[in-house]
Amino acid sequence: MENDIGKIKKNSETEVVVRIDDYKGKKGVTIREFVTSAKYTGFTKSGTRIPADKFLEFRELINTIKLEDLKDAEKAG
């Protein structure tokens, strides 16, 4: 069971895909890169999987990020 939640374009060849899936009988959220290029099309090894029982903890961590902190990071880069 795979349910794509959404995609974010990273560059001309790569998207970050967020999906709910089932791995070895356990549900979770997978965040992985998907590449479309002349050499390869498919998921890369880059990414992570958040088990369903850790998702609320993960979401709370993400929600602590302030948008102004990200804007400062963009200026420094």
Q: For 4, how many CA atoms within 13 A lie in the half-sphere containing its CB?
A: 9
Determine the average pLDDT of the residues in 9-15.
95
Q: How confident is the model over 45-69, as pLDDT tens digits?
A: 989 999 999 999 999 999 999 988 8
Q: Does the pLDDT of residue 6 top 90, yes or no?
A: yes
Say what the pTM is.
0.78
The CATH superfamily holding the domain 2-76 is Transcriptional Coactivator Pc4; Chain A (2.30.31.10)
Q: Provide the residue ranges of all domains of the chain, joining segments of one domain with +.
A: 2-76
Distance CA 75, CA 77 (A): 6
Spatial CA neighbour of 5 closest among 16, 15, 19, 24: 19
Q: In 10 A of CB 29, how many CB atoms? A: 19
- Tens of pLDDT, residue by residue over 20-45, are 999 999 999 999 999 999 999 999 99
